[in-house]
Structure 1
Amino acid sequence: MNKRLNSVMARVAAAGWLIAAMLSAETVTARAEAVVAPADGYGFSVGAPMTWMSRAEADGELDAAARTGASWLRVFIDWSRVEPMPGAYNWGYVDHWINGALARGIRVLGLIGYSPDWARAPGVYFTGPPTDPAVFASFVTTVVQRYGDRVANWEIWNEPNLPLFWGYLGDRAAGYTELLKAAYPAVKAVQPGSTVIAGGLSPAFAPDAPPTFVAEMYDRGAKGFFDAMAMHPYVFPHGLEADTLNGWSDVERVRQLMVANGDGDKKIWMTEMGAPTSAPTAEGVSQQEQAKQILDGLRRAAQTPYSGPAFIFSIRDSDTANQDNREDNFGALVTTDWQPKLAASALAR
């Protein structure tokens, strides 16, 4: 009874938010006609919350994304949750998100990353790499064998240039390149026509800046082990014009490195972009500015001839009430309790 009621409530809420957003007088100037998206389409990235939210909540977010006309969903396949013990798999949440996206006409980018305890060195944070890249490659093989009939695009790891997402270990570019070298042939052996995407690189300053990271990847022999690069050109809080995080300027620098290394035919996918509506003290922006930065990012991707699809992070706030944490407030479409945000009408179809 409770599960059924929760499911109904989530679907009612997900349906109601769009109507409310479209009636908002504050967003008259941010209509769907203003959306200029890259030729390869745009969609959403949800991140870690998709690994623990209820199915009713997942369906609500999928419905919300579908109503915007989104054509992509980035599904996080968390190795640490899917294979908590060697050979013991729990595919439940991954199945639900992938099948739910496809049922709504949304294509899937599979993001594979993060090591279970048994595959990491003792004491290494859960975002750290495995001690043996071949073990990761084995998991990648299993993933592609399971979903290869539904998913043809695979991103290897998330933001490995940041200490937080590489277990706070050093030599990140070198270590990531070794992981990529193991994962790429594993994917291709099962699915030769797939697209393997490297990076998912976050804005950062030296020594973790994306151009520095990519240059070292090439030095370590990454050429030939990826079909596209992924970057996260965030520009919050000051916006695209200021670009204080070097979000888009680093995209251009990485592109120059790719051309110089003979990879000018490969695209750069923008697998995260957006802005949090947290408090200004937590680098947040207003909902109006969030909508503007999202539209600006999509437009910039559309004007970039080498851009692949663009992904907005994310759909729904994790905890709107926690205004002191920007990570809880990246939802573009709805708050935690399913109230519409201004970007919802900007993206509505």
Structure 2
Amino acid sequence: MRPTRLLIATLTLSVLILGLPSTQVSPSHGTVRADTQFYVHLPSASRAWTGVFPPMGISWYDWTPDDVAVVPEQARLAGARWILAKPVLWSVVQPSEPAPGMPPSYNWGPYDAALAAPAASGLTPIGLVSVNPEWARDPSFADRASGPIAAEHVDDFVAFVKAAIAHYSASPYNVKHWIIYGEPDCSNPALCNYYGHWGDVPERYAALLAQLYPAVKADYPGVTIIMGNLAMDWFSDRTENPGPFERHFLENVLVAGGGQYVDAFAFNYFPEHASEWAPYGPDILGKVNYIRSIIAAKYPNGANKKLLCTEIAALGSDSLLDEQARYITKLYARTHAGGLDAVLYLGTKEWYLDTEKREGPRGLLNEFGQPKPAYIAYQYYASTMASTTYLGPVSDADLGLAPGTGAVEGYRFRRMVDGNETWVLWANQSRSDAVVHASSVTLTSKVGQSLPTVDLGGGAFRIAFGSDYGQVPVGDPVYLELSR
């Protein structure tokens, strides 16, 4: 759910530091051109879900003809492997009820170009089906475009999904992962647009999955069925400013048996809601830990199923450009360490919540198609952390700090190419002197700028966090490469 509530000089410096050519901007679209060369190692999309590469992807919904032409290439150049494809609306594909005794008729034309574009750019697309035609809706929920289906038309929905898979799983589309309704935990269609409207009838959603999953798997065993990506915030039970989303939807679907009829779970997240999940962990990891605890309690067999975040974005207005770039690095370090299988940032292009642009911009590129620092940070994480495996958190002892200090948050990864380690870390307190031991170290900023360390001799190196030293500002993530 999208939440309801100096640049050029700095960017040029970042590009020069990275050794990247200046971004070329198309006058017609104001976007990063497809022939712009970024020196980034881009892992093959066919190696998705190996646990070797960062879980980096891009989410997008509008998919205008201009978007189809440029968004997948923007995502590829950034280093993404995943992309959320244009949602396929049942109401568009099959607006008329089949005549008795006649086979169904589907019109895929409005979606073919958009769903072919991701694979053409080497990305792994994730499909999404939503919005029921009026003739298929349960009359008791007639105002819910993406809610319960009339019992006599559930078979029509199953047939539609299977037809979509048959059409789009093959080349040139290669869409083999499918979300069944976006944000199905909504129960108030007035506030959820065309997203899922199953929030107060979780047993109906579970029953739909129970009918759909075996039918799909019988003919397409290699296709991934993903439970609708949960908003799971702005809850309806809030005393102030109650929202449309049901807090217990996930657990109620699991209690109703729905968990056995999906291959993966998915959710959306916005940092504005971090306080909701703070008791369970830092930022997005709090929500991840909470979701996993619900799955463990209500459906223990689901512990090994994949978990995706399909929508996340941070504010990136002019005054928050550096903070947005910081957030990108922290986001992917946390979710890479946390074992998420895909984390899709919304989006490459600039976007606002409202047409009046009162809500701050969140894209990785500005409105002229030029990279923000966040785009460079995204790209640098994708390049630096390719072919790494998570080892564990950076401890106080690793940094020569007193136990329990908690001054620095960080995550350790092993580089498969040489067996050495890369740590991604940042200070949470105003001043900390960290000492690490290695034969050599290399320290770089979130956008790849080389930073100094102090060689203390004997294989010890000091990193000074805090404005008093001016070496690493508090909250600024850095990459520490160690050779043992």
TM-score by length of 2: 0.57
Are 1:275 and 2:311 counterparts? no
CA distance in 2, matches of 1:238, 1:264: 24
Give the alignment of 1:14-93 within 5 angstroms: 14-15=32-33, 39=53, 41-47=55-61, 49-50=62-63, 53-54=64-65, 56-75=66-85, 76-86=87-97, 87-93=104-110
TM superposition shift of 1:313: 1.4
Distance 1:124-1:298 versus aligned 2 partners, 3 A rule: same
Q: Deviations over 1:113-153 (max 9, x none)?
A: 22122322464143334334332211101101112222221
Are 1:107 and 2:124 counterparts? yes
Are 1:232 and 2:232 counterparts? no
Distance 1:322-1:253 versus aligned 2 partners, 3 A rule: same
SS at match of 2:229: strand
CA distance in 2, matches of 1:71, 1:203: 25
Distance 1:338-1:135 versus aligned 2 partners, 3 A rule: same
Give the alignment of 1:182-261 within 5 angstroms: 182-204=211-233, 205=235, 207=237, 212-236=248-272, 247-260=284-297, 261=299
CA distance in 1, matches of 2:40, 2:276: 20
Are 1:154 and 2:174 counterparts? no
Name the counterpart of 1:311: 344
Is the Cα–Cα contact under 8 Å of residues 231 and 269 in structure 2 kept in the other structure?
A: yes
SS at match of 1:315: coil
- Of residues 120, 124, 142 in structure 1, which corresponds to 2:143? 124
Is the Cα–Cα contact under 8 Å of residues 55 and 335 in structure 2 kept in the other structure?
A: no
TM superposition shift of 1:38: 7.6
**For residue 68 of structure 2, what is the amino acid of its counterpart?**
A
Are 1:345 and 2:380 counterparts? no
**Unpaired runs of 5+ in structure 2?**
1-25, 42-50, 98-103, 238-243, 384-484
TM superposition shift of 1:288: 2.9
**For residue 331 of structure 1, what is the amino acid of its counterpart?**
G
CA distance in 1, matches of 2:144, 2:30: 39
Q: Deviations over 1:77-124 (max 9, x none)?
A: 222233333445332343222321111111111111221223224641
CA distance in 2, matches of 1:79, 1:221: 25
Q: Deviations over 1:130-187 (max 9, x none)?
A: 3343322111011011122222211111111123266666624223212222321232
SS at match of 2:304: coil
Q: Deviations over 1:180-223 (max 9, x none)?
A: 22321232122112221113111323657777222111211113
Name the counterpart of 1:292: 326
Are 1:175 and 2:208 counterparts? no
Aligned residue-pair number: 316
Distance 1:72-1:168 versus aligned 2 partners, 3 A rule: closer
Distance 1:270-1:206 versus aligned 2 partners, 3 A rule: same
- Of residues 124, 138, 161 in structure 1, which corresponds to 2:159? 138
CA distance in 2, matches of 1:221, 1:242: 29
SS at match of 1:224: helix
CA distance in 2, matches of 1:245, 1:179: 34
Is the Cα–Cα contact under 8 Å of residues 233 and 270 in structure 1 kept in the other structure?
A: yes
TM superposition shift of 1:291: 2.9
TM superposition shift of 1:225: 0.4
Is the Cα–Cα contact under 8 Å of residues 235 and 245 in structure 1 kept in the other structure?
A: no
TM superposition shift of 1:9: 4.7
CA distance in 1, matches of 2:169, 2:94: 18
CA distance in 2, matches of 1:93, 1:117: 19
**For residue 31 of structure 2, what is the amino acid of its counterpart?**
A
CA distance in 1, matches of 2:373, 2:110: 29
Name the counterpart of 2:363: 331
TM superposition shift of 1:267: 2.0
Q: Percent identity?
A: 26
Distance 1:177-1:166 versus aligned 2 partners, 3 A rule: farther
**Unpaired runs of 5+ in structure 1?**
1-7, 23-30, 280-284
SS at match of 1:201: coil
The structure with the greater share of residues assigned to strand is: 2
CA distance in 1, matches of 2:288, 2:246: 8
Distance 1:186-1:9 versus aligned 2 partners, 3 A rule: farther
CA distance in 2, matches of 1:152, 1:297: 26
Distance 1:216-1:57 versus aligned 2 partners, 3 A rule: closer
Name the counterpart of 1:27: none
CA distance in 2, matches of 1:219, 1:85: 35
